[in-house]
Amino acid sequence: VSIPIPDDLLEEIFLRLPTPDAVARASAACTSFRRVIKGRAFRRRFRALHRPPLLGFMDAAGFHPAQAPHPSAPLTGALAPCAADFSFVPAVVSSASYIPRGVQADGEGPRWRPRDVRDGRVLLDWVSLHPRAMRICCYMEDGYEVSILMDFGELAPRDRPTWTERERCNAAEFHLAVCDPLSSRSVLLPTIPEELAVQPQDYLREFEPVLAPNTSEDGEEEHFKVICIAKYHTKLVLFVFPSTTMQWSMVEPPISPSLEHMSCFDCVRGCFYWTEPYRWSDHLMVLDTRTMRFSTVDLLTGYHMELRGLPDQSFDRRRPNAVVLGREGTLEMFSLVRQHGSFALYHTSLQNNSQEWKLEKVIQLPRQYHDYSISTVGAAEGFLFFRGTLEDIPVENVNVDCYSMEVNTYGITKVCTKTEKYFNRTCTLPYFSFPPLLSEPTI
C-alpha cells in the first residue's frame, strides 16, 4: 500500500525543480501535484527562489519568443500568442486620424507598441505607422532657423517634407498604457494634464517613458509607477504617475543630466543608469526611482581611461556600454569594443570602497559577426543582451540573431532569430515572466 506524500514535503520537492517548465510538467502529472503547485504559498516561495525565465524579446514589430534549443522554448510555445497580443488594451483613437497625409498604411494601422518591460509588465505607447522616434527638425521662418520636435518615425526618408509652419510636440499628446500580457489585464493611463505639460515653457526635445522597478521587499508589489523623462531645450522634467493615486505629478530635479541622449539606460537596485549611446561620456547619470533624485558616477577612471583609448574603435550608432549588478552588490559594466573587425565585451567593476574601474575579464563574442553588425541592447535579471546580423548593413528585411550572456558565468546562449525591416541597434526589450501557473496578475 502506497503512503501519500504530505503536501509540505511535495512543496519542498517541487521547489527544487530547476525551471518553470519542469513545474508545469509535474503539475500535469496528477491532481494532488497540481493542487500543491497552484497553492498561493507555493507559488510565492517558488518566485522568491527562482528568477523569472526569459520568454523572448519585444520590439515595435511585436513579440519574438525564445526558440529551440533555448531552455525557455517549450514554455514560450504556449505563451507566445498571449505575449504578442495587445488587442485587449483599448485603442485610443481611430486609425485614420494618425496616418500622415501622403503616407500609405502598412495594413495594420496604428496600434500599441512596447516602450519598456519590467516585473512582468509592459509599458505601451500609442503611435501610428512606425515606432515613435522623436527628432529635432529645422525649418526657416521669417529669416530665422526654428527647431522643433517631431515624431520622425512616421515618415519614410523620401516623404519627409520641408517644414513651412510651426509644429511642436507637447508632453500631453502622448498616450500610454500598462499591461500584463499573460493575464490580459491593462490600465490606460490618462494623458499628462495640459496645465502640467505647459509648465516647462520650453521646447520638448526628448520624451522617454519608463516603468519604475518594483522596490518592495517581498517582490510582490501589485502597484506600479510610470516615469516620463522629458528633456527640454534648457531643462529636464520628470512626469510621474503612481498607480496608487492614478494622477500625474511633475518633478523638476535641482540638477539636470548633462548627457546628450537619454535613451540608453539600465536598471540596477531601484536606480536607472544612463550612458551615452554613441560615445564614452565622463560619467553615468543615475536616477533613484524612490526619491526621484539624480546623481552621477565617474566613468573615466581606472581601466576605463585605457579602454577609451583603445585604437580602431567605432561605435557607429551602436550602444557601447551596459550597467549591471555585480556578484557582491558592486556596480559593474560591460563595454562593447570593436577591434580589427571583431567584437569583445570588456567587463569592468567599481568596488564599493574605490572610485577606480577595474578590469575583470575580456569576453570574445561570436566571430561570425564583423564590422558594424553587432550591438548590445542592455541588461536585466542577471543577463546582458546583444544582437548581430551576418548581412550587410543597410539592407531591408534583416535576419537578426539575439543572444543572452549570463553575467556571473559569461555563458552565451542564442535566444532567437528575428527578421527586421531595418537593423535597429537599440530597440529590443527582453521579456521575463513566470507562466500563469506560477504567477499572480501584476495589474
pLDDT in tens, 407-441: 989 999 999 998 876 555 556 899 999 988 888 88
Omega into 181 within 30° of 0, i.e. cis?
A: no
pLDDT at 176 over 80: yes
Is residue 95 a contact partner of residue 103, using CB atoms and an 8 Å limit? no
- Cell digits of residue 364: 570574445
Q: How confident is the model at residue 209 (pLDDT cuts 50, 70, 90)?
A: very high
CA distance 210 to 229: 8
CA distance 64 to 387: 13
CA distance 264 to 170: 22
Single out the residue of 122, 242, 95, 117 nearest to residue 186, CA to CA. Answer: 122
Q: Kindly report whether the global pTM for this prediction surpasses the value 0.85.
A: no
pLDDT at 202 over 70: yes
Beta bridge partners of 102: none
> Which of 54-63, 87-96, 120-129 shows the highest mean pLDDT?
54-63
Q: Which of 68-72, 147-151, 290-294, 343-347 has the lowest mean pLDDT?
A: 147-151
Mean pLDDT on 350-359? 82
- Cell digits of residue 211: 516603468
Q: pLDDT, tens digit, for every residue of 225-284?
A: 999 988 887 888 899 999 999 999 998 887 666 666 666 788 888 899 888 766 777 888
Distances (CA, A) of 39 to 8, 19, 34, 180: 11, 18, 9, 21
CA angle, residues 75, 81, 86, in degrees to nearest 5: 130
Q: Which of 45-49, 290-294, 316-320 has the lowest mean pLDDT?
A: 316-320
What pLDDT is recorded for position 164? 35
Q: Which of 100-109, 143-152, 167-176, 261-270 has the lowest mean pLDDT?
A: 100-109
Is residue 267 a contact partner of residue 276, using CB atoms and an 8 Å limit? no
What pLDDT is recorded for position 233? 79
Q: How confident is the model at residue 187 (pLDDT cuts 50, 70, 90)?
A: very high
Which is more confidently placed, 308 or 158?
A: 308
Phi, psi dihedral angles at 49 (to 5 degrees):
-95, -20
Q: Which of 152-156, 198-202, 376-380, 384-388 has the lowest mean pLDDT?
A: 152-156
CB burial readout 340-363, b (16+ within 10 A) else e: eebbebbbbbbeeeeeebbebeee
What pLDDT is recorded for position 247? 95
> Which of 156-170, 268-282, 299-313, 349-363 shows the highest mean pLDDT?
349-363
